[in-house]
């Protein structure tokens, strides 16, 4: 068994009361790591460390160039330790190690480099006034950030919060999901090695409700809460944060609609649609889990899509050929299997696999109001539904409480722009999926979240913009 502690004030340590919990490897279906279990008292210690580092330490007072150099050093260390980080996420939640090493770790390094450079190169607005005054804006660090993360892309999504918060001079308490404690701890160790001052990046392990997570959301010493996870948890966190009026950013669930028109490049549409739902075993907030295909090509698309789904390799996440590993935990696997017990439609392929796996599952003929069409399954399960017109496709896509993202496949340029504008979603990908520019806004509407992250959008959240007004002597 490997051991992981909290990292508070630059030191790895156990919990005040010595409590620990296991992280279970979902492929082996047995514990692989033993982890410090945080309580409200440990959360208080972590916030106190971050508070001290912010109020008294050098981090918020450094220039962007000096801070940026340390974050670049951290990015280098992330790459140098890619194998260990990738294995940590893979063992914690069953992600194919090839995906973790090939995609998640490089993107983590990119997040640190991008936000370090973005902060260093950022400009602020000035407002010349007619009254003999001059006003300008400053972006000052917000303070102590509590970052609460999910288990589906542990390291990568944590860095998406940690990197901009650090680049803008804040200090952090990061609480990784209880299913995925390992990579956050390794990241905090690397931050110490990179030379970040102690207390700047603290990692706290534990559960959410009535535990370490909730304690972070009610602590008045916390200035920002950035959360990624389920919509229900987002509501609980928002309610808790309201007591102190702590600003909250929420990246929540999704039920991505994927529209394939008859004029699409069908081979490309099949390829992207497979990626959109089966990447990470469908445990992706952005998953294209509702696939709508124009009648004229429905049968042909479905036949090709089912064949491609059946060709995916399900198995041991440590095997580099594996494309779909087990689901992240037994609890989550049971939840996904629950949907398959009563799928409300016809299952063309898929179903339960060995251990805690679910084979790529394709369902047709499910009514629009069935749970499988409306709720976030968060597994390798997709519904296919035909449509007859552009208006119907948009109506079906928008008929969801979620609005994180949508995909459109068409070779008709005007239609691509028209439909992208009509879709109620934070991101629309046209003839592609998951392609990201880190300057672009990322977030959702409706039950998919509050606020946006990325580029200047992250700056708005992780800083206190200040107006300075100067009188100019005539």
Dihedral sign for Cα atoms in the order 407, 408, 411, 412: negative
Tokens of 2: 């490997």
Map residues 19-48 to x or -, x wherever contact with ligand NAD holds by CB under 6 A.
Answer: ------------------------------
Map residues 428-457 to x or -, x wherever contact with ligand NAD holds by CB under 6 A.
Answer: ----------------x----x--------
For the chain, how many helices (H) and strands (E)? 16, 23
By CB under 6 A, name the one of 150, 317, 326, 350 that touches ligand NAD. 150
Contacts of 25 (CB under 8 A, 6+ apart): 31, 32, 91, 92, 94
Strands of the 133-141 sheet, one edge to the other: 126-128, 133-141, 463-471
By CB under 6 A, name the one of 89, 92, 214, 223 that touches ligand NAD. 214
Say if CB 111 and CB 85 are below 8 A apart: no
Known catalytic residue: 285?
yes
Q: What is the spatial distance between Cα 280 and Cα 290, in angstroms, rounded to a whole number?
A: 17
Tokens of 431: 């003839």
By CB under 6 A, name the one of 152, 246, 289, 400 that touches ligand NAD. 152
Map residues 130-149 to x or -, x wherever contact with ligand NAD holds by CB under 6 A.
Answer: ------------------xx
Binding of ligand NAD by 158 (CB under 6 A): no
What minimum distance in Å lies between the beta carbon of 211 and ligand NAD? Answer: 8
Region 281-310 residues binding ligand NAD, contact defined as CB under 6 A: 285
Q: What is the spatial distance between Cα 358 and Cα 378, in angstroms, rounded to a whole number?
A: 11
Q: What is the spatial distance between Cα 94 and Cα 296, in angstroms, rounded to a whole number?
A: 39
By CB under 6 A, name the one of 47, 157, 408, 422 that touches ligand NAD. 157
Binding of ligand NAD by 222 (CB under 6 A): no
Q: What is the spatial distance between Cα 442 and Cα 454, in angstroms, rounded to a whole number?
A: 6
What minimum distance in Å lies between the beta carbon of 149 and ligand NAD? Answer: 6
Give me the count of residues in the chain. Answer: 474
Q: What is the spatial distance between Cα 279 and Cα 360, in angstroms, rounded to a whole number?
A: 10
- Among the listed ranges 48-56, 223-231, 350-358, 462-470, the one in contact with ligand NAD (CB under 6 A) is 223-231
Q: How many CA atoms lie within 13 A of 63 on its CB side?
A: 4
Q: In the bound complex, which residue of the shown chain has the CB atom lying closest to ligand NAD?
A: 208
Q: Which of 285, 294, 376, 453 is catalytic?
A: 285
Look-up of token digits 């028109």:
261
Binding of ligand NAD by 177 (CB under 6 A): yes
Binding of ligand NAD by 236 (CB under 6 A): yes
Q: At what angle do helices 182-194 and 82-93 cross, to 10 degrees?
A: 160
Give the distance between the most distant pair of CA atoms in the chain: 80
Q: Which of 178, 251, 376, 453 is catalytic?
A: 251
Size of the site for ligand NAD (CB under 6 A): 31
By CB under 6 A, name the one of 159, 217, 249, 280 that touches ligand NAD. 217
- Write out the residues near ligand NAD by the rule CB under 6 A: 148-152, 157, 175, 177-178, 207-209, 213-214, 217, 228-230, 233, 236-237, 251-254, 285, 376, 378, 404, 444, 449
Residues annotated catalytic, as ranges: 251, 285
């Amino acid at each position: 068994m490997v051991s992981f502690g909290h990292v508070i004030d630059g030191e790895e340590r156990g919990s005040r009361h010595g409590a620990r919990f296991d992280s279970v490897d979902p492929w082996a279906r047995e514990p692989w790591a033993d982890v410090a279990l945080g309580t409200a008292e440990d959360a208080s210690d972590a916030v106190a460390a971050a508070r001290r580092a912010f109020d008294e330490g050098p981090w918020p007072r450094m220039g962007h160039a000096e801070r940026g150099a340390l974050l670049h050093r951290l990015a280098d260390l992330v790459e140098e330790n890619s194998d260990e980080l990738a294995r940590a996420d893979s063992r914690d939640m069953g992600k194919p190690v090839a995906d973790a090493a090939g995609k998640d770790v490089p993107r983590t390094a990119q997040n640190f480099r991008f936000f370090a450079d973005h902060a260093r190169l950022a400009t602020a607005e000035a407002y010349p006034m007619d009254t003999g005054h001059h006003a300008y804006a400053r972006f000052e660090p917000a303070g102590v950030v509590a970052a609460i993360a999910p288990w589906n892309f542990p390291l990568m999504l944590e860095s998406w919060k940690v990197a901009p918060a650090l680049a803008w001079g804040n200090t952090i308490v990061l609480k990784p999901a209880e299913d995925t404690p390992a990579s956050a701890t390794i990241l905090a160790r690397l931050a110490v090695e990179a030379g970040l001052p102690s207390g700047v990046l603290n990692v706290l392990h534990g559960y959410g409700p009535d535990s370490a997570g909730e304690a972070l959301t009610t602590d008045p010493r916390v200035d920002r809460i950035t959360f990624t996870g389920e919509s229900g948890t987002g509501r609980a966190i928002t309610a808790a944060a309201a007591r102190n009026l702590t600003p909250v950013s929420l990246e929540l669930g999704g039920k991505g609609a994927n529209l394939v028109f008859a004029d699409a490049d069908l081979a490309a549409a099949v390829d992207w649609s497979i990626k959109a739902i089966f990447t990470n075993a469908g445990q992706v907030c952005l998953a294209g889990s509702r696939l709508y295909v124009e009648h004229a090509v429905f049968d042909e698309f479905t036949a090709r899509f089912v064949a491609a789904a059946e060709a995916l390799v399900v198995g041991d996440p440590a095997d580099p050929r594996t494309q779909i590993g087990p689901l992240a935990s037994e609890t989550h696997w049971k939840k996904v299997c629950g949907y398959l017990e009563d799928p409300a439609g016809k299952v063309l392929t898929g179903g339960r696999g060995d251990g805690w796996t679910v084979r790529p599952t394709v369902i047709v003929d499910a009514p629009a109001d069935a749970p499988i069409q409306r709720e976030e399954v968060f597994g390798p399960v997709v519904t296919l539904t035909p449509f007859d017109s552009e208006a119907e496709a948009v109506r079906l896509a928008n008929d969801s409480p979620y609005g994180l993202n949508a995909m459109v496949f068409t070779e008709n340029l005007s239609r691509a722009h028209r439909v992208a504008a009509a879709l109620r979603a934070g991101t629309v990908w046209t003839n592609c999926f998951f392609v990201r520019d880190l300057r672009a806004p990322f977030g959702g509407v409706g039950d998919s979240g509050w606020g946006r992250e990325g580029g200047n959008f992250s700056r708005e959240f992780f800083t206190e913009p200040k107006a300075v007004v100067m009188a100019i002597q005539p």
